[in-house]
Structure 1
Amino acid sequence: MAGFETQGIGIAEALGLTPVIKRVSPPAPWRWTAPHGPAASNPDIHAPWPDLLIASGRQSIPYARMIRRAAKGKTFTVILQNPRVPPSQFDLVWAPAHDRLNGANVISTLVSPHRLTAKRLAEEAQRIAPELDQLPHPRVAVLIGGSNGTYTFDEAAARQLAEQLATLADDTGAGLMVTPSRRTGENQTRILADALKDKAAVVWDGAGENPYFGFLGTADAIIVTCDSVNMVGEACFTGKPVHVVELPGKSLKFRRFLDSIYAAGAARPFVGLLENWDYAPLDATHEIAEEIRTRFAKRRDEMK
């Protein structure tokens, strides 16, 4: 999954590494038995084994287990997300705090790792600056996800959010920078664009490079739908006020995540108003990378 891959690359980059990426898609019956069963034969997975392996996703777990065993423990094996098997099978496991996974070799953080850096946000903001010259401040990045197995972003939800955004632009004079995602839906995107066409707003139409990171970098505040843990977490990395649009739906895990973000002071529910507050940016990527660096060095010392 793209989101899982991004997390792994982000951690590798935070360690100062350029990773070699291996994608696996085993056939039946191996994909049915993952993560518990053996790894299917794959000519792309072979010795020499790496010093560090970062794996994510259910289908990757049998391969991670096989590599660690074949390398006789010399490959330091890191798993991202709950592996659904005992964490003791690996050297280090990261899982989001809302998963409530515990173990001596488990590290948890409120938000997920990603590839964002302060430098990248500044560069992306500079890149799209000419396109936003006429947009007033405060500038608000509006990050729109879409329906998933937990939440619903249908046309009714799109109309409600569109009305709130239009009113916000009128009442505050804010400039809105709206970026839909692949899951938003054509009708929902059109509803948002129509409602904001006479406002101080830019709505990405899907053409060209996604301005997502540029919007984050230039924003004074952020509004983000609640359906993506990654998207909310990336918003909270900026240190800017994050307003979360809680969509129709229910999930205990998502509820725990949102409540923890609110408790940390990084975000608040969006109720149609623009608020301002300060908080320490949430940076799980470097926290996880430092834990890997520390444990990896300890392992190397023990093996000397």
Structure 2
Amino acid sequence: MNALLPPSTTAWVLTDGKAGDTAICFGVVEALGLEPVLHRIAPRPPWSWATPFGPIDPREAPSRADSPIAPPFPDLIVASGRRAVPYVRRIRAETRGRTFTAFMKDPYTGPGTADIVWVPDHDELTGANVIKTPLTPHRVTPAKLAAARAAPLEALTRLKPPRVAVLVGGDSVNHRFKPADIASLSERLDRLAGSGASLMATLSRRTPSALRDAITAVITRSGGYLWDGQGENPFIALLALADTLVVTADSVGMVGEAAATGRPVLVFEPSGGHRKITFYLNELRQRGIVHNFAGHLAGTPYEPLDSTFAVASRIAEAFRRHRSARFMS
């Protein structure tokens, strides 16, 4: 696939380091054909409390040598997370608009926060510079899946099909794994393994200890695979070899990554939720991608769904227009 922007284009990823926000930004920058460079911001209280509306932490001002936004400024910034909003605003002021800015997810300060803003279809934000797609951008590509299938991990190939990738998140702003949720998910996974499915699981940094222990026990009982946290996360390898995927609903990003495989996605919803997430999951249910996880296999393969390249293409078009306009001015 040809690069969408010249390889000489410099690009920063600007987040506070949260895995979900960073993955979205890296996925977009890589889809543009560029090498992303993470600039991690870490505002202290009270400046962190004031985000996204307040100023940046003065300790991270561009004039400070150790600032995450010290010049020279890049051609492009792709940012995500409310803590990044004041830093995007500051860079736009410092560069007088020369640096093109793209913001992933609703910044809560309006579409004018950046030159272009991406939000999922279920979001209410609108504007001439707002991109909407069904799925969240991510780093899972057909090439990466093909490479993982061509050179699979031995620990996974020893498992008999059907192989089920179990992608477990954790507590979030909208969801909580209560004891009843943990017991329910464990029971359903036990039932799935008892039907002959092989489980391949990976956990999240957000996974609470009780849920971690329960999933570990399920995998141990079934003789499946659980990433132990050592070395590189075999997330892509699990996606590539999965015949079906079980995903917890606390991460719409993981659901989107699972949808890139073309394999049925069985979703477990813990306590809580949000109407936007419900809308998102229902849209994927209507497409035949997502099914409720009830302890057994469900669904059939489908054409993989991925919005990353579409988002990157729109950003590239806007970037070129931005550059042309500045050149002509």
TM-score between both structures, scaled by the size of structure 2: 0.84
Within 5 Å, give how 1:76-225 maps onto structure 2: 76-125=100-149, 128-171=152-195, 173-225=196-248
Distance 2:109 2:43 in 1: 18
Which of residues 179, 201, 226 is equivalent to 2:249? 226
State the shift of 1:140 in Å.
0.8
Q: Does 2:50 match 1:27?
A: no
Within 5 Å, give how 1:35-46 maps onto structure 2: 35-41=52-58, 42=61, 43=64, 44=67, 45-46=69-70
The secondary structure found in structure 2 opposite 1:276 is: coil
RMSD of equivalent CA atoms: 2.1
Distance 1:201 1:231 in 2: 21
Distance 1:224 1:201 in 2: 16
The equivalent residue for 1:259 is 282
Percent identity over the alignment is: 41
Distance 2:270 2:49 in 1: 32
Alpha carbons of structure 1 residues 159 and 105: separation in structure 2 relative to 1, 3 Å: same
- Ranges in structure 1 where 5+ consecutive residues have no aligned partner: none
Alpha carbons of structure 1 residues 168 and 30: separation in structure 2 relative to 1, 3 Å: closer
Alpha carbons of structure 1 residues 19 and 199: separation in structure 2 relative to 1, 3 Å: closer
State the shift of 1:126 in Å.
5.0
Distance 1:5 1:193 in 2: 27
The secondary structure found in structure 1 opposite 2:164 is: strand
Within 5 Å, give how 1:43-62 maps onto structure 2: 43=64, 44=67, 45-62=69-86
The secondary structure found in structure 2 opposite 1:140 is: strand
Q: Does 2:291 match 1:268?
A: yes
Alpha carbons of structure 1 residues 143 and 72: separation in structure 2 relative to 1, 3 Å: same
The secondary structure found in structure 2 opposite 1:54 is: strand
The secondary structure found in structure 1 opposite 2:214 is: helix
Alpha carbons of structure 1 residues 259 and 200: separation in structure 2 relative to 1, 3 Å: same
State the shift of 1:243 in Å.
0.7
- Ranges in structure 2 where 5+ consecutive residues have no aligned partner: 1-17
Q: Given that residues 56 and 86 in structure 2 are in contact (C-alpha distance below 8 angstroms), is that contact kept between their aligned partners in structure 1? A: yes
State the shift of 1:103 in Å.
0.6
Could you report, residue by residue, the CA deviation over 1:144-163 in whole angstroms, capped at 9, with x for unpaired residues?
11222322323432232222
Distance 1:183 1:257 in 2: 21
Distance 2:86 2:29 in 1: 21
Q: Given that residues 93 and 105 in structure 1 are in contact (C-alpha distance below 8 angstroms), is that contact kept between their aligned partners in structure 2? A: yes
Q: Which moved more, 1:247-256 or 1:228-237?
A: 247-256
The equivalent residue for 2:10 is none
State the shift of 1:116 in Å.
1.4
The equivalent residue for 1:11 is 28
Matched residue type, 2:291: R
Distance 1:197 1:40 in 2: 46
Matched residue type, 1:188: L
State the shift of 1:298 in Å.
1.9
Alpha carbons of structure 1 residues 196 and 301: separation in structure 2 relative to 1, 3 Å: closer
Distance 1:189 1:47 in 2: 42
Matched residue type, 1:179: T
Q: Given that residues 267 and 292 in structure 2 are in contact (C-alpha distance below 8 angstroms), is that contact kept between their aligned partners in structure 1? A: yes
State the shift of 1:274 in Å.
0.6
Q: Given that residues 125 and 213 in structure 1 are in contact (C-alpha distance below 8 angstroms), is that contact kept between their aligned partners in structure 2? A: no
Matched residue type, 1:134: R
Question: Which stretches of structure 1, 4 residues or longer, exceed 6 Å deviation after superposition?
Answer: none
Q: Which moved more, 1:12-21 or 1:38-47?
A: 38-47
State the shift of 1:8 in Å.
1.2
Distance 1:120 1:109 in 2: 22
State the shift of 1:197 in Å.
3.2
Matched residue type, 1:7: I
Alpha carbons of structure 1 residues 167 and 31: separation in structure 2 relative to 1, 3 Å: closer
State how many pairs are aligned. 303
The secondary structure found in structure 2 opposite 1:258 is: helix
Distance 1:295 1:11 in 2: 14
State the shift of 1:128 in Å.
4.7
Could you report, residue by residue, the CA deviation over 1:204-240 in whole angstroms, capped at 9, with x for unpaired residues?
3334432222111111111111111111111111111
The secondary structure found in structure 1 opposite 2:83 is: helix
